[in-house]
Structure 1
């Protein structure tokens, strides 16, 4: 209660909602613009793990014991949020697990959620593990919220960032015998000076689809700061194609005014990288259209050569993105299925085209015809990039996943009908029936019946067998067109309803995925296609010939030369807008125009831009007591409530008269 009362004043309540302030000029900033905390060396190029001493292994098993002892029955998220359940189960767990000096508690809770969901996959008829996984997510969100409440301002933002994006290992500080017997081998493990095998709480929340946790205000505060580049850190990855781990930056704030003009680290900021990726894809789309407009089956055009080279670099960038955090995280991206589809189409086109070049017959194979089917994939991808928060596109991605799974299952199940009809066709041909169709025609008939377009297959089935042919076709039509399509429509409707039901959580979840994937550690991402291919061919051999420091210098010099215009634009923009936009300060009229003056509702927005004066704050605090004793007492009796209201009315009248005197004095 003492902790809660410390936030009872209006000033503290307002500080929890205010935006993070800009770094002060007198704070220590290193050569890369990172604000260093007290005790950190400015010239230290590799920061050791500050959380290496936390007992992560013990905390994980402690959390599991507490969760198992707290819940034995299946509950939903709404039931666990009930006030009674919150008092009996959730709040005691938060009080037990919250430790201001241990930032790994949230990670341990989410790790247990992953384990409970895994156990549930082996126990179909018992849903208690789902309830336990939900409880882990709920408690993790409450613990993170308590960190957020107890640590306002920029120091609190750094603490929340350490909780969510600092790396932890499940076996951290475990006994040696446990490490020898149970630790799984990972291949390959690249040396990172003590940061190997680390996972972040944000990544664990993404792979466990903890959408309620990711949509919390505390989590989104960190996600927005990382996305905009106000909080910077060195990301952790599974494997890098072109590793450069000479420097490891700690989690810190970024001051663009004291950073170098060409700061190559800004290329891994998610906001900047998302804009760069959109521009790269637009270039790819333009080259694709020019290739198809000027296509020539007999020879290579200049547009096709440019398209092949540039797309090869784009595919390398996509492959590195998959290796960065793994397939599971990458597929959570909104447009990942479109990228994978295009890569498959491009691979088939490239193989056929190169085979024709090798045999001297480019017109054979019709490779450009294969490439033409990429148009339905590339054009919608632009819409996914420009509108990542659109619920229609988010729902479309979820429904495409269900549609693909059910379609593959249907094809698998109905292959037996195709085999039976083909064998009947062979028998009919052997009996001398010249009207018997071939198996390709039978496939077409079955496809038309599946979608309910044409019933020719049922009419002509007598050509296969007078009894068995119609029986198989009618059975296929009943199972496919009636049952499977009905199930498909029901599944898609249910998926759409679930997505729309919690639209805010879905949008915040996609933002978290986009932000987490946007922070890249691999040096290959700093090179634009097709220069990344050149960097791979030149710099990767140098990695084995030069020292870590020399290779880092060569790599940084090449990145700054190739990306000088982009880095210059980023630096100019961030020096003016990085912190001002977050603080909602009005821009200078000489550079930006404020259009709120043309709206009759502009004052509603403007009244919240500036903090009220201290005299107004003190007066409001005297009127409304925001202490937890007044807000959380739900069992106050009626006479006491009436007396409280009467006392409050008298106090309002007294303060109203004093306010008139105060305002009259100011007017005078």
Structure 2
């Protein structure tokens, strides 16, 4: 099995030479682990050089549009681009984005420089975008695409090649060496820094989207840099390279981490989860644990394990940029409460808790059904806006609960102070909370009518003040905030959509071996392979992992191999790599049943050069 792996890597390198494509930097045929080809770049020095230049260039606040004006573009932006551009230093974009993060951090606590720091952060992003475009202009073809991929997805470290005295002054740096990766520890790619700093101008640029699209389709392949792997298998490290399916093995489990293919698999997995959930709820039998519930529990546990691994793969900041992350977290909480209560009821014999556990599981339906819609339509502006508005709504609601808790305490203490007048109709704490909630949403005014039960004068005064502040002032603020958020997103819809695509693409490339196993087999793989890792050598553990992954995913890998050989990449070596305009596996089309089919069909076949030269 391992020999097959070595042969496949050798074929990839041989194919790179035959097709005129650049060979992988530092990669020798048959070598298992490639040293970092960019380890000699002066990242630490470049970061501080950029910071010095940006601070010297900007002393006043400017907007992005003002920075793009001809005067500022010539005297500030273009001058920085000319000073920083170095064809041999591909870490320059990463260093600019690191400075952007630092300026954004400084604006949160340096009030006197808040607007200036935001301008400096914007300038760093704008210069990084222009530098990326210059790299693209100076390097064309497949070699240029590979260079751009190294700029965006190769890993760098802020303290890389820092002077010895700097490291002595910072004993805690570098940080988080969680798992050994042969020199790739503590490294972050520029694409990840752009995501967590929300550099939407850079991510929506045509050059960046070209690389994102190549990674999304699997034309650019590499081993991603992750924070923690639940099931680590770092025996082989695949450097950034161009993929040719004609020279790769038919059962290539690396294709399971291609974002486009992985996205299709994840949608199918979630559809299965939703179908099992519906079956478990429709066929439930009260206290009896049905086979449908057992199957759903096993599959849902495996699905949650995969989602948990995705969270820790690149950290919480990156995962929360995903469109449906808040729905996943909500389902985690609901399923965790259901499973805990169900298991406790089964172990203790308290049957009433089993019914409550199923009732808790029933409230997962409003989470799972919209989640499927989010998966199927990730570029829909309604869903993108809904995610941002949910964040604002949650923040404002928590602030309102915090502020209006004083009204509840006042009413509660007024009621306790008049204990001699207590009757059966005296409201308790739950009733007071219900009245306040109804007033908050403008549903019922019972609380205002019964406010005299607290105090003849102070009770109505408190209720009326709460109704005015809550139902009128806070809800007006909430509507204004949500309207403003929606307007901002719609005004820059293209950048928002491309930003979400970049997030999905970056998160789709996984390094954890656990992602090679479909739920619920990932639980079995974790229980079997994790103990084996303590016993076997890295080479043998890698061989066992590859054998199991290929065996369990053989039908999927076979379909992927056939699909990519016949549809995605062209076979002749004199034609460029890329998606074909028409499927070679299914050569027929249905344009004859479509009245405007000829408009599309005319572009399916490239015209001869002689016909283009006639004019």
Give 2:308's match in structure 1, choosing from 314, 319, 322.
319
1:591 positional shift: 2.6
Match of 1:475 among 465, 480, 492: 465
Aligned pairs for 1:98-177 within 5 A: 98-124=85-111, 126-177=114-165
From 65, 76, 93, the counterpart of 2:52: 65
8 Å CA contact retained: 2:219, 2:578: no
Name whichever of 524-533 and 122-131 sits farther off: 122-131
Summarize deviations over 1:99-146 as a string: whole Å, max 9, x none.
111110000000000000000111345300000000000000000001
Match of 1:610 in 2: 606
Question: Cα distance 1:221–1:402, how it changes in 2: closer, same or farther (>3 A)?
Answer: same
Is 448-457 or 415-424 further displaced after alignment?
A: 415-424
C-alpha distance in 1 between matches for 2:581 and 2:313: 37
Indicate if the aligned counterparts of 1:428 and 1:463 stay in contact, CA closer than 8 A: no
Q: State whether structure 2 residue 277 is matched by structure 1 residue 291.
A: no
- Greater Rg, structure 1 or structure 2? 1
2:532 is aligned, of 542, 558, 563, to 542
How many angstroms apart in 2 are the aligned matches of 1:313 and 1:584? 36
Greater displacement, 241-250 / 434-443: 434-443
Q: Check 1:52–1:108 CA distance in 2 against 1; reply closer, same or farther (3 A cut).
A: same
Name structure 1 gaps, 5 residues minimum. Answer: 1-24, 618-661, 664-668
Provide the residue aligned with 2:38 in structure 1. 51
Aligned residue for 1:640? none
- Deviation, 1:247, is 0.3
Distance 1:609 1:88 in 2: 47
The structure-2 alpha-carbon separation of the partners of 1:41 and 1:132, relative to structure 1 and needing over 3 Å to count, comes to same
Indicate how the Cα distance of structure 1 residues 357 and 323 shifts in structure 2: closer, same or farther if over 3 A, else same.
same
Distance of 1:93 and 1:612 partners within structure 2: 45
Counterpart selection for 1:508 from 492, 495, 498: 498
Contact preservation (8 Å) 1:63, 1:108: yes
Mean CA deviation greater in 305-314 or 495-504:
305-314
User: What is the CA–CA distance in structure 2 between the aligned matches of 1:217 and 1:83, rounded to whole Å?
Assistant: 21
2:351 counterpart residue number: 362
Change over 3 Å in CA distance of 1:279–1:181 after alignment to 2: same
Question: What CA deviation, in whole Å up to 9, does each residue of 1:147-188 have, x standing for no partner?
Answer: 111111111100000000000000000012212322436445
How many aligned positions are there?
Answer: 594
The 5 Å alignment of 1:365-444 reads 366-444=356-434
Task: Spell out, residue by residue over 1:241-283, the C-alpha distance to the aligned partner (whole angstroms, 9 max, x if none).
Answer: 1100000011011111111111011111111111111111111
Q: Which secondary structure does the structure 2 equivalent of 1:240 belong to?
A: coil
Q: Secondary structure at the match of 2:97?
A: helix
| Superposed counterparts of 1:295-310, under 5 Å | 295-310=284-299
1:611, distance to aligned residue in structure 2 (A): 7.1
Q: Give the C-alpha shift of residue 533 in structure 1.
A: 0.9
Of structures 1 and 2, the one with the larger relative CO (CA 8 A, separation 6+) is 1
Partner of 1:512: helix, strand, or coil?
Answer: helix
Q: SS at 1:42's partner residue? A: coil
Contact 1:74 1:127 in 2 (8 A): yes
Q: Is the 8 A contact 1:29 1:35 kept in 2?
A: no
**CA shift for structure 1 position 45:** 1.3
Could you say what secondary structure the match of 1:510 adopts?
helix
- 8 Å CA contact 1:299–1:362 kept in 2: the answer is no
Secondary structure, counterpart of 1:29 in structure 2: helix
Which residue of 511, 516, 524 corresponds with 2:514?
Answer: 524
Partner of 1:209: 198
For the structure 1 residues 523 and 27, does the alpha-carbon distance in structure 2 shift closer, same or farther, using more than 3 Å as the test? closer
Output the TM-score relative to the length of structure 2. Answer: 0.92
Contact 1:114 1:133 (C-alpha < 8 Å) held by counterparts = yes
Q: Is residue 458 of structure 2 the alignment partner of residue 464 of structure 1?
A: no
Inter-CA distance 404–38: structure 2 relative to 1 (3 Å threshold): closer
Q: 2: distance between equivalents of 1:542 and 1:214?
A: 41
Q: 1:615 & 1:592 partners in 2: Cα distance? A: 26
- Whole-Å Cα distance in 2 between the matches of residues 250 and 80 of structure 1? 37
Structure 2: segments with no counterpart, 5+ residues: 1-10, 571-576
Secondary structure (helix, strand or coil) at the match of 1:324 reads: helix
Given the two structures, how large is their TM-score scaled by the length of structure 1?
0.85
- SS of alignment partner, residue 28 of structure 1: helix
Partner SS for 2:535:
coil
Specify the alignment match of 1:195 in structure 2: 184
Offset of residue 420 of structure 1:
1.4
8 A contact 2:273–2:299 mirrored in 1: yes
The one of 7, 15, 27 aligned to 1:29: 15
CA RMSD of aligned residues (A): 2.3
Which stretch has the larger CA shift, 201-210 or 579-588? 579-588
CA contact (8 A) 2:13 2:29 kept: no
SS of residue paired to 2:246: helix
Q: How far, CA to CA, are the matches of 1:614 and 1:84 in structure 2?
A: 46
| 1:341 paired residue number | 330
Contact 1:297 1:362 in 2 (8 A): no
What SS class does the counterpart of residue 242 from structure 2 fall into? strand
Please state whether the residue corresponding to 2:481 is helix, strand or coil.
Answer: helix
CA distances 1:210-234 after superposition (whole Å, capped 9, x unpaired)? 0010000100000000011010000
Of residues 51-60 and 123-132 in structure 1, the stretch that sits farther from structure 2 once superposed is 123-132
SS in structure 2 of the partner of residue 358 of structure 1: helix
Counterpart CA distance in 2 for 1:188 and 1:358 is 41
1:94 aligns with 2:81: yes
CA contact (8 A) 1:45 1:247 kept: yes
1:307 to partner: Cα distance: 1.2
Answer yes or no: is the 8 Å Cα contact 1:230–1:578 preserved in 2: no
- Residue by residue over 1:41-70, the C-alpha shift from the partner in whole angstroms, topping out at 9 and shown as x without a partner, is 221111110000110011000110110111
Post-superposition Cα deviations, 1:298-339, rounded to whole Å, max 9, x if no partner, equal: 121111111111111111111111110000000000000000
CA contact (8 A) 1:28 1:37 kept: no
8 Å CA contact 1:433–1:463 kept in 2: the answer is no
